Chain A
């Protein structure tokens, strides 16, 4: 797999995060505590993230993207595989050994109202990581917390003493972002940071994240279910389905030249805001239901819903291999090769415009 992961590296800084053959499982318990099935939420996922870039991870329910994020921060640690951050494998590190690492690796969660302690004041929330690392005196910590609140657009004098309940969703999420920044991390995992917010507020928060990224030279691992949003913020995108990585590559390539049928289906399902896109245009190019993650289909997991599935797809699991442009990998036996981006007409038929296999 090493050649594949090398091919997946995009131009940019050094490799900041390398995830190799990550597997995360959950044991389901039946009544009485007996072992029920095993749910493999993340199956053999590998990718790299370079300093200064944003890697977007897209997937729907059951794709394992949130579980992947949690595994990277070791909460809980993955069952198998490696998470190499700044050259050090985090898997198996003791709690104490993780402490210096955590300074550089932070996370912003989806719902700010559960990721902020409802009983704490905003200033205290933002200063907490500093207190945990015993940075400076209490006054100095408050200073730093205040300057971070200003950085995210909240007046500390006005908002510092408030509780999260007294803030709007967008304001609360800014507090969460400020807290994630306070230790000056290198990499921030954003787990759907804007999906619980209103449209206009969502745009505000995304712009904030972008600005912070360039000002503070951050890298992001951006988890989302919204493909259009991910395109806006990412340099590279990875598409996940049922715990597996389907496709990964530079963002322009993924959107202009998707190689995996699932990626195409996702793109086709984005509502098109262009006028007159036609009322009765059948947009859904994907059929059937998501299989149970407890019992995923043999071979390629997407085959039960894929319009291009053949016998081989049931017997052999496709491997991630390079195809298309540089740094573009896909795990498919019959990928969409060549061809232009899906046009409106093509979306209706679920096939790319140009000839393919």
Chain B
């Protein structure tokens, strides 16, 4: 495929801070990771973890109130600090994003096909006929039946799953090297979710696109991703391949995430092992590990010094002073603890 040397995307020490009325919200605090061509990376976190904000930074979609520092290099080209014109080129051509809400991402007054051709013609110089053909080809590629007919339909005539496919088609219109799916299947039914994820994977293989899937669902990531990165309160707390992560979960937060998800193997009426409390307030950056107030393994030094993300084992990074002892990410810890 003639892939360029070096990683496709290289994020180093990314920091994003929002200023509003004297308050600074530190949404992302020093995040670093790389994405190779064709790789599937899952970024896992809850709300407030900074996962979406960091993705927006990669796309250059942050509002002007955001202060971005650090480096984001795409194929060696620095994204941070680019002007709007270059960013527009960058988006769609290099990176594309699939958002969570299919309703809000599509223009309800425009035919579906036209939305795709619009995306095509923004980046490629083709005739209207060529764009139309490509659009129909894309609709077929995302497995929408009766593509020619659907081309002329409006978003409200399509189901949620189909709308999401259209969005994927738009995202892939110019064959970007990197696709970011931000909770792309969260709003969909579980059966549709499976269909869409399968589609994304097949397309990935077909087109060689790298995929970054952002989610709160560890199980989903486990089924589809090669590597997982867990974020909490704006920082990366654990990073590993799927196998390594599940073979030995280190970060207590990751373990808490795993334990908190109801699994079909558990007995009915079993209490879920639960971590109490709430994510921290991002406008106050306190010293020490941001998970310490809620962590069942917390020790005094956890609150004093912020743990650094280090590769403690080959291919497995974590930021914790007292990680779990490894072993399966199974049910451990006190069941039935209520928060607050």
A interface residue numbers (CB < 8 A to B): 60-61, 153-154, 168, 170-171, 198-204, 206-208, 210-211, 225-229, 231-235, 251-252, 255, 265-286, 289-290
Contact = CB atoms under 8 A, between A and B. Distances in A.
Given A204-B274, A233-B268, A61 B223 contact: no
Interface string B120-142: 00000000000000000000000
6 contacts: A198-B46, A200-B257, A203-B259, A207-B336, A229-B262, A277-B222
A231 B263 CA distance: 8
B28 interface: no
A261 to B, nearest CB: 12
Given A61-B189, A153-B339, A200-B257, A272 B222 contact: yes
A211 B339 CA distance: 13
B148 interface: no
Interface stretch (B70-78, B98-106, B190-198, B299-307): B190-198
Interface string B244-268: 0111000000001111111110101
Interface stretch (B5-13, B57-65, B169-177, B213-221): B213-221
A203 B257 CA distance: 10
A279 B268 contact: no
Given A201-B339, A233-B268, A275 B222 contact: yes
Interface in B183-229: 189-195, 197-198, 201, 205, 216-220, 222-226
B264 A283 contact: no
Sorted from nearest, which 8 A-B pairs have the closest CB atoms? Answer: A275-B246, A203-B260, A273-B219, A60-B189, A232-B262, A271-B219, A284-B194, A269-B194
Contacts of A228: 261-264
Nearest to A152: B338
Nearest to A58: B190
A310 B205 CA distance: 35
A290 B195 CA distance: 13
A63 to B, nearest CB: 9
B338 A208 contact: yes
B257 A153 contact: no
A274 B222 contact: yes
Contact of B46 (A154, A199, A270, A273): A199
Contacts of A272: 219, 222-223
A288 to B, nearest CB: 8
Nearest to B218: A273
A94 B222 CA distance: 53
B278 interface: yes
A304 to B, nearest CB: 12
A290 B339 CA distance: 39
Contacts of A255: 264
B41 interface: no
Given A269-B191, A270-B190, A153 B338 contact: yes
A261 B101 CA distance: 29
B258 to A, nearest CB: 7
Interface stretch (B17-25, B88-96, B156-164, B312-320): B156-164
Contacts of B275: 200
Contacts of A283: 194, 197-198, 223
Given A61-B160, A284-B194, A226 B278 contact: no
B296 to A, nearest CB: 12
Contact of A232 (B160, B190, B219, B268): B268
A170 to B, nearest CB: 7
Given A232-B272, A284-B191, A284-B195, A273 B263 contact: yes
Contacts of B201: 279-280
A281 B162 CA distance: 22
Contacts of B193: 269
Contacts of A235: 268-269
Nearest to A59: B189
B268 A200 contact: no
A289 B272 contact: no
Nearest to B339: A204
B257 A199 contact: yes
Given A200-B274, A279-B40, A60 B224 contact: no
Contacts of A279: 40, 201, 223-226
Contact of A289 (B161, B205, B269): B161
A204 B338 contact: yes
Nearest to A195: B186
Q: Which of B193, B226, B269 has the most CB of A within 10 A?
A: B269
A160 to B, nearest CB: 14
Q: Which of A199, A202, A206, A227 has the most CB of B within 10 A?
A: A199
Contacts of B225: 279
B84 interface: no
A232 B266 contact: yes
Contacts of A285: 194
Contacts of A207: 271-272, 274, 335-338
A51 to B, nearest CB: 16
B108 interface: no
Contact of A153 (B162, B226, B340): B340
A200 B260 contact: yes
Nearest to B279: A198
A273 B258 contact: yes
B221 to A, nearest CB: 8
Nearest to B205: A280
B168 interface: no
B276 interface: yes
A175 to B, nearest CB: 12
Contacts of B192: 60
